[in-house]
Structure 1
């Protein structure tokens, strides 16, 4: 049987397109919010499409899973970097969000690999009800990720415009500001989940350490006997 070229699987090609759109978005972010926003949004929508394509075409791969996750993490990180320049007083907060986001996903994936799982979404979550609900309920996962991205996207757009105005006389408000306020709690909860994920992953790695120590002690005892 001929070996298939995983790099050219449809979901991975969609992933490359996402990266291209994000590069364009990153390049024009400081000056052209319209092009940047559309490229960022389309890239985000394609994030849902590649998963469906992988399942439909039976082209789910470890490479695709990591490509997808790394693209998501890098996209959010780059947007937060720009927000730090737009809102310098909040720079430390944006830095913390970046650190927690990157670190929690990295150690989560690392612990999954050490546990022998083929995906960071397929590890044993029985010991953590929050992560179990988060990763097994696709609706919750989608809403949390979308709401989190929407909050930072709205913060970005607010630097340029309030967006379409909802005319309510003295209570009139811009749609971007409204969406920003609406999704702010989601972003806070998402960061909390990242912290829970980091803690749970650390516990997994420590349990592996303890198992290794017990095995080494057992081997030492066997040699001595």
Structure 2
């Protein structure tokens, strides 16, 4: 009997991520504490699904696509809310959303065209910065977490700076610490977009040369 990929445990966790994310979006305009709780819960489930996939041997292309798209959409919806709270910086958030979606889309398509199983698996000929970024789980976790923290703290500091610690609000302190790492991650996204574009262009060249030799 064929396995039902849709009922793989990691994929069920991803469905829960969608539910918790939308609960968070519901509270975003008025209730920062409920919104933050459900958003962070969705992020925690993101950390769990990968471990379950490896532990249960239930990795799948569907799961990899779900994981990537839920990440992108959750961050995009948070930034859409930030456009409302910080209208003067709307262009920055719009650029961030466009870069995030475009770079990951190009990267995933490049990986699929080259026969890759996941956007987190690169061949050794790829950009060395991207190779270390995606192959070192500690670096990947720190950078992704810092990026999420930056936008989450922008959201929370709109309502409150947080408990005061050494004369500065806790949420503000986390915001300042995470900001440089978030900007570095944006730079990595640009590198990712450039590398993926080059890979796709090389595939185009190879396909055209193959057609000419027929």
Task: Provide runs of 4+ in structure 1 moved above 2 Å.
Answer: none
TM-score (norm 2): 0.98
**Residue equivalent to 1:36:** 35
**Residue equivalent to 1:223:** none
**Residue equivalent to 2:62:** 63
**1:28 touches 1:35 (CA, 8 Å); kept in 2?**
yes
**Residue equivalent to 1:204:** 199
Q: What's the Cα RMSD here?
A: 0.8
Please say if 1:96 is aligned against 2:91.
no
Between Structure 1 and Structure 2, how many residues are aligned? Answer: 214
Which residue among 207, 210, 216 is the counterpart of 2:211?
Answer: 216
**1:125 touches 1:131 (CA, 8 Å); kept in 2?**
no
Within 1, Cα distance between the matches of 2:131 and 2:210? 29
Q: CA deviation at 1:125?
A: 4.3
Q: Which runs of 5+ in 2 are unaligned?
A: none
TM-score (norm 1): 0.93
Within 1, Cα distance between the matches of 2:205 and 2:61? 28
Please say if 1:178 is aligned against 2:169.
no
Q: Which runs of 5+ in 1 are unaligned?
A: 220-225
| Residue aligned with 1:40, SS | helix
Which residue among 190, 193, 197 is the counterpart of 1:195?
Answer: 190
Equivalences for 1:95-114 in 2 at 5 Å? Answer: 95-114=94-113
Within 2, Cα distance between the matches of 1:61 and 1:212? 28
Within 2, Cα distance between the matches of 1:154 and 1:121? 27
